[in-house]
Amino acid sequence: MAVSKVTVHFPCPVEGVWHTVTDLTHTAWRSDLARVEVLDEARFVEHTKSGYATNFTVTTCEPLRYWAFTMENGNMSGSWEGIFETAEGGTRLTCTETVVAKHWWMRPFVPGYLKRQQKLYLDDLRKELLK
């Protein structure tokens, strides 16, 4: 199992960060995704630009405070949680992602992959929020 926890600050209100992160109908800012398919209130599927699908199920939603979900695809399963806090004239977002590789030979690569994915996501989010 690999765990990556990152805390970042955005110089904008928590409402804007929350809305951007949780609005699954507007995800064009995500450079890694082709589209997001919303199945219902709690389930969605992210499709990467290379066509790979990952299934998500929202487990907790406390507006403007906490959003968490499980995720699964053919290579991994895991969870993500985001803690949204008003701080220092903006928003502090703490993201924790936990992933378990489904194939033993992938395990050594998961920590690096996880860190790269989190960095890409947060870089894309920063660009979207500051435009």
Q: What is the pLDDT, as a whole number, of residue 59?
A: 98
Q: Which residues of 85-102 are buried (b: 16+ CB within 10 A; e: fewer)?
A: beeeebbbbebbbbbebe
pTM, to two decimals: 0.94
Going from the first residue of the chain to its last (131 residues), give the mean pLDDT of each consecutive group of 10, the final group possibly shorter.
96 98 97 97 96 97 98 97 96 97 94 94 97 89
List the 2-10 sheet strands across, edge first: 2-10, 90-101, 76-87, 66-72, 53-62, 43-48, 33-38
Protein fold of 2-129? Alpha-D-Glucose-1,6-Bisphosphate; Chain A, domain 4 (3.30.530)
Domain edges within the chain: 2-129
Q: How many other CB atoms are found less than 10 A from the CB of residue 25? A: 6
Q: What is the pLDDT, as a whole number, of residue 114?
A: 92
